[in-house]
A and B are shown apart, each in its own frame.
Chain A
Amino acid sequence: MKRRTLLGGTIGAAVLGLTFGLTSAALAQQPPIKIGMSMAQTGGLAGGGKASQLGIEIWRDDVNARGGLLGRKVELVVYDDKSSASETPAIYSKLLDVDKVDILFAPYATVPTAPLMPLVKQRGMLLMGNFSFQVNSKVGHDMWFNNAPWGPADSWAASFLELGQKAGGKTIALLAADQEFAQNLALTARDVAKKMNMQIVFDQAYPPNTVEFSSILRALKAAKPDIVYVASYPPDSAGILRAVNEIGIGNNVKIFGGGMVGLQFGAVMENLGSLLNGVVNYNTWLPEPSMQNEGTKAFFETYTKRAIEAKVDPLGYYLAPFGYASGQMIEQAIKAVGSLDQKALAKYLRENEHKTIVGPIAFAADGERKESATLQAQFRGVVDKNMDQFRKPGTQVILFPAKMKSGDLISPFEAARK
């Protein structure tokens, strides 16, 4: 009897499988379109990498629910690059030569991406960039497209310094971590300051992993700058804000912040709470009315649910929607071109404007955004230990760019802190 039940069950399962198989035959007949990438699952970039990957995975599920691309399912092939530059050449070689992927996405951040640029150029592959900074400036690959809103190299510092100048600032203090991203920012800030005829009265780099900033801030305060431009990483961003809270920064500072990494992540923001008030900092996406596009709301509804399971940033504003946008751009390009021909896809991406959940995206010749869409936003009315406040509009008021502006700068900094 038992054996018969087993037999019946097997036959039943087989029949069921067959009917299911037949209905999805259209999708199953052709091999999937493989999109290959490495993403930091471990190491310093893992927090961002995982959130970014979740954004891309949500796009994959959406596109497959719509029937895939070119009648084929979309599949992601993802390996861990351990946040390191030394892992990515071997991984991308595997993706190209062994897995034979159809499309390449870049890993999150500049360092793991930089060694890939010559490789993809040599192989004539399109590479969809993921939040790296000026990796293509020396290589000049004409099939590189960065999803980040940075735009021209100097626009980042320019937007912040212009805000400061409008508020009456003439002198600048630069405080930057001795690490890749922060130093790049400081470099452009110096150039922009020169162009705008502003005097740099304090210029200090500090070693990574510095936690105690009171002496540095005392020296900065003594220089009496009008504008304080900070380029820092998550642990030091918190350290700097704590020191500012402790010893103050002086009444002449009109604007403070600019390039502080970490103040975009839910956990860090929740932790710092009211210390954030008044800080003007860069961001990529914020829940202001001007940032809502077609599909944005639906994306964040899905993301918020899945972020808990995936144990990533509960807010996910910084990277995740841009991962989704990368997918949307590739989707539009493949649909328009009708094939996976890398050159044709690159031509389409370069020549057209693309609708995404983070707004329209158009690329310049170097593969960066034509116009900067990097936000400068001021924290307002933040209270301690409350994650949900960051989901509401008005907590981070967008000051730049003009198209997305949702308020005006409150200055001086000390007044804005209250």
Chain B
Amino acid sequence: MKRNGIFFWVGAAVFLIAIALMTKLITNEYPFFAGYVILQFIVLAVAWSILGGHAGYVNFGTSAFFGMGVYTAVFLFKVAGAPLLVQIAAAAAVGALMGFALGLLTLRMQGIFFSIATIALTIVIETSITNWRYVGGAAGIQLQRPPVTWPFSGYVQMLFFVQAVLVVLAVVVSRYIQNSWIGRGLQALRDDELAAECTGVPTLRLKVLACVVSGALMCAAGAPAAMYLQYADPSSAFNLNYSVSTLAMSLIGGTAHWAGPIVGAILLGTTQQLLTVTISSEVNVLVLGVMLVLFVVAAPEGLIGLLRRIRRHRREGKQ
């Protein structure tokens, strides 16, 4: 266990150093534009699986949190020209509040009803933003990036690095939750909420906590998108595609382990980016669909589940 911990922290440090070196060594901006999107999906998928994976509450409202992050950043930037870090921190706070409200919802709703309520959440928030003229309303809003901060050479490089830090943060939180009493409690309530409650697991407190953490991370992941696009409009920011992709990434990677969503997000995110610039037609939607179906049939517990099963088979084979 301890050795695992050392590996993890060294891995995280190496990852961040590699990202920092990339921003210094690569002059071509395309890898940063494409990489940013993949990193953003890693944060979203990891955050989603805190609630969706550990607690088993399927959240279709990823786009609500993401869009809220975007618009928190837009609002703060317009009102006070707030710097990027303030935008992200504020978005995380807003996301935590939204998560808290969503957590309270779980008191009344479970299973499919909870999922439907999260879709409603997206629609309600999107409609409100659409009618809020100050942040551009339905017509959208164009933003001008401020000059880039030292030591970065370009704004996209900086956003890329910031998103990488968010990835590490999200993974650290998710890993901590999985390995601590919180994760065990969440797992218990996923299997049988009533039984867990009866055996003394504080289910409501755990669910609210999972919602708050998951919401805060999703909103934080959305905040830099305002500066990445330099434009925000409700239909893009609250696009249901974020919800669907995030869910697919978590499921393809596997939700039983914190590494699952990372694997899923890298795999699906990279495929999406590659398909956009290769096949680039209706076919790319089809390819994604087929991929999803294949995974659901061949690996219902995701890649991580598949890996575990193969390992178990081998071990049994040796015995």
Using a CB–CB distance below 8 Å, which chain A residues touch chain B? 41-42, 78-80, 82, 84-87, 89-91, 93-94, 96-98, 110-111, 114-115, 117-118, 135, 138-139, 177-180, 182-184, 187, 205, 207-208
Q: Answer yes or no: B139 CB below 8 A from chain A CBs.
A: yes
Q: How far does the alpha carbon of A89 sit from the alpha carbon of B138 in the complex, in Å? A: 21
Interface pair B230/A90, CB less than 8 Å apart: no
Sample of 13 A–B contacts (CB below 8 Å): A42-B281, A42-B284, A85-B236, A89-B228, A91-B277, A93-B32, A93-B34, A93-B156, A94-B30, A114-B140, A115-B231, A118-B144, A187-B139
B223-245 contacts to A (CB < 8 Å): 225, 228-231, 233, 235-236, 239, 241
Interface pair B142/A41, CB less than 8 Å apart: no
Interface pair B282/A42, CB less than 8 Å apart: yes
Instruction: Select one of A82, A90, A180 contacting B233, CB under 8 A.
Output: A180
Asked, given contacts A80-B276, A80-B280, A84-B241, whether A111 binds B144 with beta carbons under 8 Å apart, the answer is no
Grouping DSSP codes into helix (H, G, I), strand (E, B) and loop, the B interface class, with mixed when no group exceeds half, is helix
Asked, given contacts A97-B29, A111-B236, A180-B139, whether A85 binds B229 with beta carbons under 8 Å apart, the answer is yes
Asked, given contacts A86-B229, A98-B28, whether A93 binds B276 with beta carbons under 8 Å apart, the answer is no
Residue of B nearest to A119 (CB): B230
Q: How far does the alpha carbon of A89 sit from the alpha carbon of B143 in the complex, in Å? A: 14
Residue of A nearest to B239 (CB): A84
Interface pair A90/B239, CB less than 8 Å apart: no
Residue of A nearest to B123 (CB): A207
Task: Give chain B residues whose Cβ lies under 8 Å from the Cβ of A86.
Answer: 37, 225, 229, 236, 239
Interface pair A111/B280, CB less than 8 Å apart: no
B123-172 contacts to A (CB < 8 Å): 127, 130-131, 137-140, 142, 144-145, 156
Task: Give chain A residues whose Cβ lies under 8 Å from the Cβ of B156.
Answer: 93
Asked, given contacts A117-B142, A139-B142, whether A78 binds B235 with beta carbons under 8 Å apart, the answer is no
Interface pair A85/B30, CB less than 8 Å apart: no
Q: How far does the alpha carbon of A110 sit from the alpha carbon of B141 in the complex, in Å? A: 11
Instruction: Select one of A79, A89, A184, A205 contacting B229, CB under 8 A.
Output: A89
Q: How far does the alpha carbon of A110 sit from the alpha carbon of B231 in the complex, in Å? A: 11
Interface pair B139/A79, CB less than 8 Å apart: no
Using a CB–CB distance below 8 Å, which chain B residues touch chain A? 28-30, 32-34, 36-37, 127, 130-131, 137-140, 142, 144-145, 156, 225, 228-231, 233, 235-236, 239, 241, 273, 276-277, 280-282, 284-285
Interface pair B142/A114, CB less than 8 Å apart: yes
Task: Give chain A residues whose Cβ lies under 8 Å from the Cβ of B228.
Answer: 89
Task: Give chain A residues whose Cβ lies under 8 Å from the Cβ of B131.
Answer: 178, 205
Q: How far does the alpha carbon of A138 sit from the alpha carbon of B273 in the complex, in Å? A: 30
Interface pair B233/A91, CB less than 8 Å apart: no
Residue of A nearest to B282 (CB): A42
Interface pair A90/B280, CB less than 8 Å apart: no
Q: How far does the alpha carbon of A150 sit from the alpha carbon of B228 in the complex, in Å? A: 29
Interface pair A79/B231, CB less than 8 Å apart: no
Q: How far does the alpha carbon of A115 sit from the alpha carbon of B33 in the complex, in Å? A: 13
Interface pair A80/B236, CB less than 8 Å apart: no
Q: How far does the alpha carbon of A98 sit from the alpha carbon of B273 in the complex, in Å? A: 14
Q: Within the complex, what minimum Cβ distance (angstroms) separates B275 from chain A?
A: 9
Interface pair A79/B30, CB less than 8 Å apart: no
Q: Within the complex, what minimum Cβ distance (angstroms) separates B149 from chain A?
A: 17
Interface pair B138/A93, CB less than 8 Å apart: no
Interface pair B140/A111, CB less than 8 Å apart: yes
Q: Within the complex, what minimum Cβ distance (angstroms) separates B186 from chain A?
A: 31
Q: Within the complex, what minimum Cβ distance (angstroms) separates B167 from chain A?
A: 18
Interface pair B138/A42, CB less than 8 Å apart: no
Residue of A nearest to B131 (CB): A178
Task: Give chain A residues whose Cβ lies under 8 Å from the Cβ of B140.
Answer: 85, 110-111, 114, 180
List the 7 closest A-B pairs by CB distance, nearest first: A90-B33, A85-B236, A93-B33, A114-B231, A115-B231, A183-B138, A115-B229
Q: How far does the alpha carbon of A117 sit from the alpha carbon of B30 in the complex, in Å? A: 17
Interface pair A118/B138, CB less than 8 Å apart: no
Q: Within the complex, what minimum Cβ distance (angstroms) separates B296 from chain A?
A: 22
Task: Give chain A residues whose Cβ lies under 8 Å from the Cβ of B139.
Answer: 180, 183-184, 187
Task: Give chain B residues whose Cβ lies under 8 Å from the Cβ of A178.
Answer: 127, 130-131, 138
Q: How far does the alpha carbon of A110 sit from the alpha carbon of B137 in the complex, in Å? A: 15
Q: Within the complex, what minimum Cβ distance (angstroms) separates B272 from chain A?
A: 10
Instruction: Select one of B130, B233, B241, B282 contacting A41, CB under 8 A.
Output: B282
Asked, given contacts A42-B282, A91-B277, A111-B235, whether A97 binds B28 with beta carbons under 8 Å apart, the answer is yes
Interface pair B29/A93, CB less than 8 Å apart: yes
Interface pair A42/B236, CB less than 8 Å apart: no
Instruction: Select one of A94, A97, A110, A118 contacting B145, CB under 8 A.
Output: A118
Q: How far does the alpha carbon of A269 sit from the alpha carbon of B30 in the complex, in Å? A: 42
Instruction: Select one of A89, A180, A205, A208 contacting B33, CB under 8 A.
Output: A89
Interface pair B233/A85, CB less than 8 Å apart: yes
Task: Give chain A residues whose Cβ lies under 8 Å from the Cβ of B28.
Answer: 97-98
Task: Give chain A residues whose Cβ lies under 8 Å from the Cβ of B277.
Answer: 79, 91, 94
Q: Within the complex, what minimum Cβ distance (angstroms) separates A277 from chain B?
A: 30
Q: How far does the alpha carbon of A358 sit from the alpha carbon of B77 in the complex, in Å? A: 42
Task: Give chain B residues whose Cβ lies under 8 Å from the Cβ of A115.
Answer: 229-231
Task: Give chain A residues whose Cβ lies under 8 Å from the Cβ of B36.
Answer: 90
Task: Give chain B residues whose Cβ lies under 8 Å from the Cβ of A87.
Answer: 276
Q: Within the complex, what minimum Cβ distance (angstroms) separates A393 from chain B?
A: 36
Residue of A nearest to B142 (CB): A138
Instruction: Select one of B225, B233, B273, B282 contacting A111, CB under 8 A.
Output: B233
Interface pair A41/B280, CB less than 8 Å apart: yes
Q: How far does the alpha carbon of A54 sit from the alpha carbon of B63 in the complex, in Å? A: 34
Task: Give chain B residues whose Cβ lies under 8 Å from the Cβ of A96.
Answer: 29-30
Task: Give chain A residues whose Cβ lies under 8 Å from the Cβ of B236.
Answer: 84-86, 111
Q: How far does the alpha carbon of A119 sit from the alpha carbon of B76 in the complex, in Å? A: 22
Q: How far does the alpha carbon of A138 sit from the alpha carbon of B139 in the complex, in Å? A: 14
Residue of B nearest to A111 (CB): B233
- From B28, B37, B137, B231, name the one whose CB has the most chain A CB atoms within 10 angstroms: B231
Q: Within the complex, what minimum Cβ distance (angstroms) separates A35 from chain B?
A: 15
Q: How far does the alpha carbon of A71 sit from the alpha carbon of B228 in the complex, in Å? A: 39
Q: How far does the alpha carbon of A311 sit from the alpha carbon of B34 in the complex, in Å? A: 31
Residue of B nearest to A179 (CB): B138
